[in-house]
Amino acid sequence: MLTLGSLADGEHGLELAFVRSQDATAHRETTVTGLTTLTPAEVLGGHADRTRSGHMVFLAGLLPYGNRGRTATAVQELLHQMRSDGCAALVISARHDDLPPYPRHLYDLSRQLAIPLLVTTAAQEHWIRVSETMQQELVTRAERRASQLNMLIQQLPAHLADAQAMGRITDWLARTLDAQVLVSERERVLAASPASAAERVAHAIIHQSAEAGHADASVAHTQLISLGPAAGAEAVLAVARHSSFDASDQRLLRHAAKVIGLMAQARHEFRANHGASHAARTAAAELLLTGELDKARRVMAMLAPGLLAPDTARVYVIQTTAELRDSVVHQCEAAMADRALTIADPRDPSRVLIINPLLPGGVGDTSVAGDLMRVMTTGGRGRVLSLGGSGVYSMTLMAQALNEALTAQRFATAQPDSVVLSSQDDALISLLPQHDAQAWARDLLRPLTSSPADWEQFRHTLPTALAYPNTVAAQRLLLHRNTVTRRVTKAAALLAMDLNKVAHRIAVGLALELVTQRDTTDDEDASRSDPDVRTLDGLLATPGLETWADTLLHPAREDRRPLLTTAAHWLAHDLRIESTAAALGLSDATVRSHLRALERHLSRDLTSLSGLRDLMFALHITMTIPEATAPNAVPHAA
């Protein structure tokens, strides 16, 4: 980079000097982008129209001193022309023993026009050679800048919102300009290169502001370029280095600032859009978990059309750490694409929820589970991850599906691969004869379905109310506790059942699940079912269920403690620990210990309705349950 100061200091041997010392101070850093050579005849004849912006104008030859008035007028016109064209300086030849050949009033005009005056004692031939050298240097510099711009283009990311792209460009800019580079907003640093740039650039800006007007070679030169309001809150590109920035440096900075500004804007908009999308997805998931399927579908209609259209879904839970959760969410979103609803669980800072709607036939079911397991395996050693998955549930029963997935996830922590996925498709409901099961369920629930308005309320309330105490169910359903109690009481009266009894709750829960989740049987199909099988007792006598029950209970039988006996009496006493302990002659603590061990052996959550259902039916099928809790003791069951 050529400047008036570097040329006056001897670069290229031009024997150049400022006429006034004040100009040496004020114009040392003026960049010289070229050399225009004029003859005295051209100047005196008024033909000095070849001047260019940034050029130093050299008068090749001695001016005729015999006519100072004409000479002064010609030089005065030349200075005005140079000012208009943005030239850097005027240089006039002089002999070593000559005084500066400028009349006094030209000094004043030079100061007024900010065109410094210089003299040279070097020969014209030397200036011609130097002019050629300067032109070659300018060509080389232009080629280098073109290469730099090409390199800048190569730094552009495939996606402007690429989180790493801004850092790559600031690193490149710092290397190219040998400078400290900082991109920041009012309250945070977006990128810095090197890492210490934030502190050093800030120090340089403060120091330069404090020393404004005083030359100090030890103070870094700085450039501040606003990235525009669209890029964020007062985003700025700040650059500092010990040498000054010439015009080409500044052009490169402006180009880089445009690119960085676009990336900052994209990042800002991406965060805003992603935040809005995340909030909408979280709201949709919350609506699903409270049974508000239609509202959830409306929320997701614009974000992911058709995602929630299926009637059934699975729920998966990934437990990680608070520090890793955002990363896991991003990985799951990338893996799921438009097949599932992925959110960071607002109830637990370490949990990720995935709701996977299933098309008829379970299309996409196994692929989602496989992709989530790959997220687990690509997490690397040291990542605390565990995955649990539910069985297939009606979209209106996502709260129950979540509960099952959470249970599976808790069991997953004890597994070598930290994964437990529900085997519901191989279990009880899928083994039942579907037409007969539907017919039984519709018969049982007929008193509730006679009024469409009442049925909609029962369908919304009962699955949760049967699984939890009324107070907890009310919180989950966002209803008043009295409303839940009133609906449960009304349902019990219509069904002529006691929904405080665990066997009755299990029967109604199974019927609701069959009707709302797998309702593929119309009344005509139901009429063709086997009357002998259209009872709960008949359904549980289905071939294949005995093998299922034996397989489920086998681990518990291997335990030396009488776990199944404890479980049978616990069910017979409607889950009352004290009554069970008294009947068995055990302590309350022993009963609780047996039940915890049974949960581990069965991989079932015995605080959930589905876990209790599998336990009770397996005990009944294998003839190890007391008669008091047998399914045929349930009204409408036989």
- The total domain count for the chain is 4
Burial status of residue 419 (CB atoms within 10 A of its CB: 0-12, 13-18, 19 or more): buried
CA 365 to CA 370: how far, in whole Å? 9
What percentage of the chain carries pLDDT values higher than 70? Answer: 78
Distance between CA atoms of 87 and 420, rounded to whole angstroms?
Answer: 77
What percent of the chain is modeled with pLDDT above 90? 23
Domain hosting residue 510, numbered range: 430-633
For 633, residues 6+ apart whose C-beta sits below 8 A from its C-beta are 503, 627
What's 123's domain CATH number?
Answer: 3.40.1390.20
Flag whether pLDDT at 316 surpasses 90: yes
One domain for residues 462 and 313: no
Tokens of 434: 């579907």
CATH number at residue 330: 3.30.70.270
Place of tokens 């290469």: 147
**329 and 364 in contact (C-beta within 8 Å)?**
no
β-bridge pairing 180-184 and 189-193: antiparallel
Q: Where are the alpha helices (DSSP H) in 180-311?
A: 197-210, 247-289, 293-300
12 and 52 housed in the same domain: yes
Look at residue 460 and tell me if it is in a domain.
yes
Q: Which amino acid is at 436?
A: D
Q: How many CB atoms lie within 10 A of CB 29?
A: 16
User: Are both 526 and 554 inside the same structural domain?
Assistant: yes
Query: Which of 408, 426, 444 is the C-terminal boundary of a domain?
Result: 426
CA–CA gap between residue 290 and residue 26 (Å, rounded):
74
What is the DSSP-derived secondary structure letter of residue 89? E
Q: Which of 218-227, 405-414, 529-538 has the highest mean pLDDT?
A: 405-414
Classified as helix, coil or strand, 512 is: helix
User: Taking the CA of residue 349 as centre, how many other CA atoms within 13 Å lie in the half-sphere pointing to its CB?
Assistant: 3
pLDDT band for position 233 (cuts 50, 70, 90): low
Asked if 608 and 487 sit in the same domain, the reply is yes
Q: What is the chain's Cα-based Rg?
A: 42
What distance in Å separates the CA atoms of residue 239 and residue 177, rounded to the nearest whole number? 9
Residue 313 lies in a domain: yes
Q: What is the DSSP letter of 100?
A: P
Chain centroid offset of residue 119 CA: 63
Strands (E), 139-285: 180-184, 189-193, 221-226, 236-241
Pick the last residue of a domain from 133, 166, 191: 133
DSSP characters over 399-416: HHHHHHHHHHHHHHTTST
Instruction: Compute the distance between CA of residue 439 and CA of residue 519 in angstroms, rounded to an integer.
Output: 10
Do 573 and 439 reside in the same domain of the chain?
A: yes
- The Cβ of residue 421 has, within 10 Å, a number of other Cβ atoms equal to 19
Q: 506 and 619: one domain?
A: yes
Strands (E), 526-626: none
Query: Residue 532 domain-assigned?
Result: yes
- Hey, CA dihedral for 29, 30, 31, 36, is it positive or negative? negative
Q: Does residue 144 lie in a domain region? A: no
- Last residue of one domain, picked from the residues 407, 426, 445: 426
Q: Is 314 helix (H, G, I), strand (E, B) or coil?
A: strand
Whether residue 419 is found in the same domain as residue 434: no
Q: In terms of domains, do 612 and 529 share one?
A: yes
The reply to whether 140 falls in a domain is no
Q: Tens of pLDDT along 80-126?
A: 999 998 999 998 887 765 555 566 777 888 889 999 988 888 887 78
Distance CA(318)–CA(406), nearest Å, equals 9
On the 0-12 / 13-18 / 19+ scale of CB atoms within 10 A, 602 is: buried
Check residue 102 and give its pLDDT. Answer: 63
Does the structure show a pLDDT above 90 at 356? Answer: yes
Residue 362 pLDDT > 60: no
Would 349 be classed as within a structural domain?
yes
Domain identity same for 585 and 463: yes
* 538 found inside a domain: yes
Residue 337 pLDDT level (bands cut at 50, 70, 90) = confident
418 & 445 share domain: no
Q: Say whether both 563 and 441 belong to one domain.
A: yes
Q: Is residue 141 part of a domain?
A: no
Read off the pLDDT of residues 548-596 as tens digits, 9 standing for 90 and up: 888 889 889 999 999 999 999 999 999 999 999 999 999 999 999 999 9
Distance of CA 86 to the CA centre of its chain: 49
Distance CA 371, CA 576 (A): 42
Q: Is the pLDDT of residue 613 over 60?
A: yes
* pLDDT top residue among 512 and 520: 512
Whether residue 45 sits in one domain with residue 166:
no
